[in-house]
């Protein structure tokens, strides 16, 4: 028994010695010299050895991508507004409106000339009363003006005076190949993630995309455009930015993405759509030649006209109008619907007809009959105004029993500008102040 105990003690002593030896050995190996630490930590990367098709292109164009801020002046109403479901509304909702400017939305754009021209989506600046541009050079907002736009193609060209930003070069989107790299740069979620770069491939070209939207006068319309499909990430705020090739050429304008929602049962990932740059070139050329047609659209005017005031001594267009409610925008834009035209009045002489919808006067939108009348209040006899109307086939026969029959109106129509010389018209027999204002 004692022999066994002695053997066990000897074994325990041997194990302890072995364990101590291992610990000692480990402690000795853990001592690393300063030279070895420096070799591990103080490292460098030789960028010349890195092969990437993106870095050079991104460095060329990243600063050409700018942020765009859409400010809108809107009215906060504490009055009442009513719509009676017959295609007409009334003007009581204009009472107590206080105009306030606020940041309506943000997007992206690409500088395309050394003169400060910026290409973006129309929907990024739609309805803006003021547009500003932000760059990578500073945190200031630079005032911009819209020189031209095409709402149906969803493109717009802005200009910022004195913008010191290197412009991006335009490519030829007809030369795009399925499978080549697509580099997308924009401002998703605003300046917080300014000039974010995402990369993918060209998934398809010549995709037919159909959209239902509203023009600046709130008429609903459907368009079908040819777009480029990419799988690079496109998020809210990327709209209007750039889709570049590996040469740093601007090939497309990111415009939208598909996502899973209640209207699409299947899961959707990485399907983004870009407007081909060749589609935008005619508008760009037109603007650069000085023929840009569009102007920054202001918020719809909310004129507070006193329709009970006698207008016998006021210059008029010579029309009797009714406000169109938003329910009529399926076929007509929102505006002042012309119920009657004085036979020998200025509007009739200019060519305005019954059934026309007056949507703007001198470039300012007229969303209601009271807004139209308010615009005329400060004018005098002999003043010449530009009146924009929307003319739809069948609209002159649309009023039946004091209601608007939308079914007789052909949804296809056209916008027409008329030059009208205002004058005083004595016969006001058709004017009913509380219901159908005369203008």
Q: Give the per-residue pLDDT at 321.
A: 85
Active-site residue numbers? 123, 154, 239
Q: Which residue has the tokens 């056209």?
A: 414
pLDDT in 10s for each residue of the chain, 439 residues: 545 555 554 455 554 544 444 444 444 567 899 999 999 999 999 887 887 889 889 999 999 999 999 999 865 544 333 333 333 344 444 444 567 889 999 999 999 999 999 999 999 998 888 999 999 888 789 999 999 888 878 999 999 998 999 999 999 999 999 999 999 999 998 888 899 999 999 999 988 888 776 676 777 767 778 899 999 999 888 999 999 999 999 999 999 888 766 455 566 778 999 999 999 999 999 899 875 443 333 322 222 222 223 334 568 899 988 877 656 656 788 888 898 899 889 999 999 998 899 999 998 888 777 778 778 877 888 899 999 999 988 888 877 766 677 778 887 789 999 999 998 875 443 333 333 456 6
Domain 315-424, second-level architecture: Roll (2.30)
Report pLDDT digits (tens) over 318-328.
Answer: 998 887 765 66
Report pLDDT digits (tens) over 144-166.
Answer: 999 988 887 899 999 999 899 99
Percent of the chain with pLDDT over 90: 42
Q: Give the per-residue pLDDT at 405.
A: 75
User: 203-213 burial string, b = 16+ CB within 10 Å, else e?
Assistant: bebeeeeeeee
Q: Give the per-residue pLDDT at 259.
A: 74
Q: Give the per-residue pLDDT at 87.
A: 36
Residues of the chain with CATH 2.40.10.120: 57-288
Report pLDDT digits (tens) over 369-397.
Answer: 777 877 887 788 889 999 999 998 888 88
Topology of domain 57-288, per CATH? Thrombin, subunit H (2.40.10)
Full-prediction pTM beyond 0.85?
Answer: no
Q: How far apart are CA 229 and CA 112, in angstroms?
A: 22
Q: Give the per-residue pLDDT at 293.
A: 40
Q: Give the per-residue pLDDT at 304.
A: 28
Residues of the chain with CATH 2.30.42.10: 315-424
Q: Give the per-residue pLDDT at 426.
A: 57
Cα–Cα separations (whole angstroms), residue 421 to 339, 355, 376, 425:
20, 20, 12, 12
Structure tokens at 229: 């499909």
Which residues 6+ apart lie within 8 Å of 290 measured at CB?
none
């Amino acid at each position: 028994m004692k022999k066994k105990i002695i053997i066990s003690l000897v074994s325990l002593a041997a194990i302890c010695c072995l364990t101590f030896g291992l610990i000692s050995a480990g402690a000795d190996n853990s001592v690393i010299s300063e030279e070895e630490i420096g070799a591990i930590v103080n490292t460098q990367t030789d960028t010349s050895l890195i092969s990437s098709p993106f870095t050079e292109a991104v460095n060329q164009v990243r600063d050409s991508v700018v942020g765009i801020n859409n400010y809108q002046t809107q009215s906060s109403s504490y009055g009442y507004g009513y719509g009676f479901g017959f295609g007409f509304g009334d003007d009581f909702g204009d009472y107590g409106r206080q105009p306030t400017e606020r940041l309506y939305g943000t997007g992206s754009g690409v500088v395309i000339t050394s003169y400060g021209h910026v290409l973006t989506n129309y929907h990024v600046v739609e309805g803006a009363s003021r547009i500003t541009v932000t760059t990578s050079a500073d945190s200031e907002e630079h005032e911009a003006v819209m020189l031209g736009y095409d709402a149906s193609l969803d493109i717009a060209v802005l200009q910022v005076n004195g913008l010191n930003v290197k412009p991006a070069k335009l490519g030829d989107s007809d030369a795009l190949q399925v499978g080549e790299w697509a580099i997308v740069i924009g401002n998703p979620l605003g300046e917080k993630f300014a000039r974010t770069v995402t990369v993918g491939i060209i998934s398809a070209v010549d995709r037919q995309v159909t959209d239902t939207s509203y023009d600046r006068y709130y008429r609903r319309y459907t368009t079908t455009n040819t777009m480029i499909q990419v799988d690079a990430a496109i998020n809210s705020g990327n709209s209007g930015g750039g889709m570049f090739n590996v040469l740093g050429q601007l090939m497309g304008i990111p415009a939208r993405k598909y996502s899973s929602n209640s209207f699409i049962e299947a899961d959707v990932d990485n399907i983004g759509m870009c407007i081909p740059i060749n589609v935008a070139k005619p508008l760009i050329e037109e603007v650069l030649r000085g023929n840009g047609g569009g102007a920054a659209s202001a918020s719809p005017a909310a004129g507070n006209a006193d329709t009970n005031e006698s207008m016998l001594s006021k210059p008029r267009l010579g029309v009797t109008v009714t406000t169109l409610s938003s329910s009529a925008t399926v076929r007509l834009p929102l505006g002042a619907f012309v119920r009657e035209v004085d036979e020998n009045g200025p509007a009739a002489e200019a060519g305005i007809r019954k059934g026309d919808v007056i949507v703007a006067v001198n470039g300012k939108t007229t969303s209601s009959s009271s807004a139209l009348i308010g615009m005329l209040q400060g004018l005098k006899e002999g003043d010449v105004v530009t009146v924009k109307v929307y003319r739809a086939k069948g609209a002159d026969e649309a009023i039946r029993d004091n209601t608007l029959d939308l079914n007789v109106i052909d949804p296809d129509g056209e916008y027409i500008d008329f030059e009208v010389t205002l004058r005083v018209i004595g016969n006001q027999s058709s004017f009913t102040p509380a219901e159908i204002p005369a203008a």
